[in-house]
Amino acid sequence: MKDWNYQAKELHQCIVASRYFEGMAKKKYLIAFIRREGIPIATAQLYAGEKIGTWRIGQFYANELDRSNCRPSDEVQAIFNKWLETVPIKEAI
C-alpha cells in the first residue's frame, strides 16, 4: 500500500480512494506504475486483450492535477507500449 499511496499522491490520482487494488486482487485488471528513476510519471490500467496473449490499455494517465493535460507524453506511451509487448499475460494476471 505504500507504493500505491505514493503513486496516488504524486500524480493526484484516485487509485487508492477508488480502491483499484481490489479489482487487481480479483484479477479483473492489472495496474502498472510507470516510474522514471523511482519517481511516478504515469499509471496504466491493463486488461487482457481480445486476441489471446495480448493486452488492452484501459485508463492511462500521468499527473492529474490538471485534468485537461494529464495524458502521458508520446515518449512515455511509446516506451510503455514497447515494454508491454514483452509481458506475458499468464505471468501477470
Using one digit for the tens of pLDDT, what is the confidence trace for 10-33? 999 999 999 999 999 998 999 999
Give the three cell numbers for residue 53. Answer: 496473449
The neighbour count for residue 89, using CB atoms within 10 Å, is: 15
pLDDT at 91 over 60: no
Smallest CA-to-CA distance from 47 within 69, 67, 68, 23 is with: 23
* pLDDT score at 33: 97
Q: Decide: 71 and 63 in contact? Cβ < 8 Å.
A: no
| pTM, full prediction | 0.89
Task: Tell me the three cell numbers of residue 69.
Answer: 493535460
The answer to whether 82 touches 34, Cβ cutoff 8 Å, is: no
Residue 38: is its pLDDT beyond 80? yes
At 53-89, the pLDDT tens digits run 778 899 999 999 999 999 999 999 999 999 988 887 6
